[in-house]
Structure 1
Amino acid sequence: MKNIYIYPAIFSYANDNDDNDDILVEFPNLDGVFTFGTRPKEAYYKAKNCLESYLYRMEERGKIIPEPPKKNDIKLKENQVIEMIKVNMNLVRDEIHNKAV
């Protein structure tokens, strides 16, 4: 089990003609793992939280966690940028196991 993961996340910003200003965040090699935020800082926080939850569930189920794609291999559209999301699974595991119910 790895402790540190670093995954690229694609942040898609709204076009000028869009009514919705949300920032969509997706992880290119993790099917169905996405979130959004209304500001960049919020989108980054939610992306990190989303990735932590996904990786924890994969570990708990004994599933193989896919390797992150190389940043240079990801094709972006005009309104997209890549942010690297770093997750320390030791902290995630400790937080989940020590949570008071």
Structure 2
Amino acid sequence: MDKYIFPAVFETGEKKGYCVTFPDLPGCITEGDTLEEALQMAREALELHLYGMEEDGDEIPSPTPPEKVRVPENGFVTVIEAWMPLVRDRMARKAVKKTVTLPKWLNDLAEKEKINFSQLLQAAIKERLCINENRRPSY
């Protein structure tokens, strides 16, 4: 699915700020010092949680209608939207750190020549996989 809309419960506590939970998604929780920050963090938490569920092949539950969500006395409910094509694209472009092993003599020569290891490795992998920069594979 490309778009999800889930209810989020925002609670104010003894301390300043908001705690945000998603009743339909156990473990999806975040917080923010201001309402604006809490809304932003809620969207990010929802996106990452749903992305992780998709990657793991987990079934994503149907959201509870907001009017049926129990709201604590010091809280309120609102809906948060996750547009997954943007999330998937952002995650596909995310840099990942890899550890490589080279003989010391080769590493020393490459460093002396100021070779950018990451750039060279990316270019070599793209060449090996016949990836054209103008035509990126879909995931």
List 4+ stretches of structure 1 deviating above 3 A: none
Match of 1:4 in 2: 3
Give how far 1:95 is off.
Answer: 0.8
Aligned equivalents of 2:4, 2:39: Cα separation in 1: 15
TM-score (norm 2): 0.66
Q: Cα RMSD (Å) of the superposition?
A: 1.0
Which residue is 1:32 aligned to? 27
Corresponding position: 1:74 with 2:74: no
**RCO comparison, higher one (Cα < 8 Å, 6+):** 1
Unaligned runs of 5+ in 2: 97-139
Number of residues of Structure 1 aligned to a counterpart in Structure 2: 96
Identity of aligned residues (%): 39
Higher strand share: 1
Q: Which has the larger radius of gyration?
A: 2
Q: Secondary structure at the residue paired with 2:72?
A: coil
Q: Indicate the SS of the match to 1:8.
A: strand
- 2:48 match: secondary structure: helix
After TM superposition, give the deviation of residue 99 of structure 1 in Å. Answer: 2.5
Offset, 1:50? 0.5
- Mapped partners of 1:33, 1:42: distance in 2: 16
- Gaps spanning 5+ residues in structure 1: where? none
Q: Helix, strand or coil for the counterpart of 2:31?
A: strand
More helix by share: 2
Alpha-carbon distance in structure 1 between the residues aligned to 2:94 and 2:71: 38
